[in-house]
Amino acid sequence: MRALLRNYVGGAWVETGRTFANINPVNGAKVCDVSEADAATVARAVEAASRARDGDWGRMGDEERAALLRRVADRIEARFDDFLEAEVADTGKSYPQARTIDIPRGAANFRIFADLIKAYPNESYEMTTPDGAGALNYSIRRPLGVVAVIAPWNLPLLLLSWKVAPAMAAGNAVIAKPSEETPSTATLLAEVMDEVGVPAGAFNLVHGFGPDSAGEFLTRHPDVDAITFTGESRTGTAIMKAAAERVKPISFELGGKNPAVVFADCNLDAAIAGVARAVFTNCGQVCMCTERVYVERPIFDRFVRGLKEKAEALTLGRPADTGVDTGPLISAGHRDKVLSYYRLAVEEGATVVTGGGVPRFGDERDEGFFIQPTVWTGLSDEARVCREEIFGPVCHVAPFDTEEEAVRRANDTDYGLCASVWTQNLSRGHRVAKRITAGLVWVNSWFLRDLRTPFGGVKLSGIGREGGIHSLNFYSEPSNICIKL
């Protein structure tokens, strides 16, 4: 790991003289320092991206761009161990998770969109004209121009590449700002872009925070043509206000308070295992994680007992420890936030089925940001912990009596990212899934994704869709050309 992570602007590495610490969440130790981009550095990145948009990168054809993106994927795989160590150091997640999900998907995203851009469909129509000669209309798609890509800390490489790859495939020049909590794999990606010969300015990287830092400088810059962001809904609101001044295109994948609806006719063991995975994966730090669970009353007690057993069987530990199921939260600040909800739940009258505190190890992990997987029951749907996104390894489980009640309560939220339905009645599964207001609904599964399908939320969970051609639709805009014959 490098002692200092720098910004990458116009094909050159840039230091600003101002740094912040990158902290390992497993033990609270400093991983490295990071150069914080100031307003001048962000402005240089926008200028470099504008030159690339109008220069070699902008004139490059789809085939040539696709070939470069495939080389990026190849190079990520060639440097797999470097990316793996960086991802684990920043997030504290286990090696098996990063090795099988985060790094492979980071490479795969570039291949997927390199292939898709070559098969991107356009329209053509013949029409009659008053003189009988006719005319031909056909569409082309133009890149938006300079795109700001702001990525979160929970799946740093995966979600950054999920945006960078289609944006670049469509011909845009990109300025990436990773989370200040997880800057390492983004820096490695900049190295890879440089190594494979991506033209200067086509990919830029700026490090920093949100308000009065790189994030705000980037989203308020008048020459940024579009913004894509994954993260907290309140941050999305601030970015939307900045974008509104120039009516810039935005794509937001924001927070969630995702429900699971478990019917009495489900495969109970599969439902318990599936919901446990949906609650506790990555220490609950996935936008698609489940925080509200509604269980049909005849199986409620058995379900709660089973979920309690799953939670208590989880092994918390270091990334390299054998059999580790979950790591720490990302930071001390985030753990303080989650713990505040743990306390609030008790104040609101919750029954703590399991968890509710901080584990103690008796070693350096006590300086890290671990937290106990937690299950609550006994609260009304109006309790704050049942309405506000917590983003930790926790859920509230409540009984229901009718299908109508379950749907109503699942939809009683300001969010609408995803949901899961557990039933062996296929007709019921289809019927309930259609009625749940969310961008993605699973039936008898969770986290199962075909990357060609649309992904995104409604209400406070976001604007727009990502995935396959839906991503390319955002990062380019159609123009019609009409030729009189």
Coil/strand/helix, residue 287: coil
Cα–Cα distance between 281 and 448 in angstroms, integer? 13
Cα–Cα distance between 408 and 96 in angstroms, integer? 38
289 is catalytic: no
- Which of 380, 383, 377 lies closest to 397, judged by CA? 377
For 258-443, which CATH class? alpha beta
Domain residue spans in the chain?
4-254+459-484, 258-443
Coil/strand/helix, residue 12: strand
15 is catalytic: no
Confidence of residue 452 (pLDDT cuts 50, 70, 90): very high
Predicted confidence (pLDDT) per residue in 277-287, tens digit: 999 999 999 99
Segment 189-212 shows an average pLDDT of: 98
Predicted pLDDT at 274: 98
The Cβ-side half-sphere exposure at 119, using a 13 Å CA radius, reads 8
Q: Residue 132: CB partners within 8 Å, gap ≥ 6?
A: none
For 4-254+459-484, which CATH class? alpha beta
Q: Which of 253, 291, 296, 389 is flagged as catalytic? A: 253
Predicted confidence (pLDDT) per residue in 287-326, tens digit: 999 999 999 999 999 999 999 999 999 999 999 999 999 9
Cα–Cα distance between 414 and 86 in angstroms, integer? 35
Cα–Cα distance between 174 and 189 in angstroms, integer? 13
**Beta bridge partners of residue 429, listed in sequence order:** none
Number of C-beta neighbours around residue 290 at 10 A: 26
What would the two tokens of residue 287 be?
């936008």
Judge contact between 420 and 275, C-beta under 8 A. Answer: yes
For tokens 């506000």, the residue is 388
Predicted confidence (pLDDT) per residue in 127-179, tens digit: 999 999 999 999 999 999 999 999 999 999 999 999 999 999 999 999 999 99
CA dist list (Å): 477 to 90, 97, 141, 175, 342: 36, 36, 5, 19, 46
* CA 398 remoteness from chain centre: 28
Judge contact between 178 and 206, C-beta under 8 A. Answer: no
What would the two tokens of residue 84 be?
């793996």
Judge contact between 355 and 339, C-beta under 8 A. Answer: no
Query: With 0-12 CB in 10 A as exposed, 13-18 as middle and 19+ as buried, what is 76?
Result: buried
The Cβ-side half-sphere exposure at 399, using a 13 Å CA radius, reads 11
Segment 11-34 shows an average pLDDT of: 98
Q: Which of 32, 283, 287, 386 is flagged as catalytic? A: 287
| Orientation of helix 62-78 relative to helix 103-118, angle to 10° | 170
Cα–Cα distance between 261 and 381 in angstroms, integer? 14
Find the angle CA(40)-CA(42)-CA(45) to the nearest 5 degrees. 110
Predicted confidence (pLDDT) per residue in 327-350, tens digit: 999 999 999 999 999 999 999 999
The rounded mean pLDDT for the chain is: 97
Taking the whole predicted model, whether its pTM rises above 0.95 is answered as yes
Predicted pLDDT at 155: 97
Give the rounded percent of residues in the chain with a pLDDT score beyond 90: 99
Confidence of residue 46 (pLDDT cuts 50, 70, 90): very high
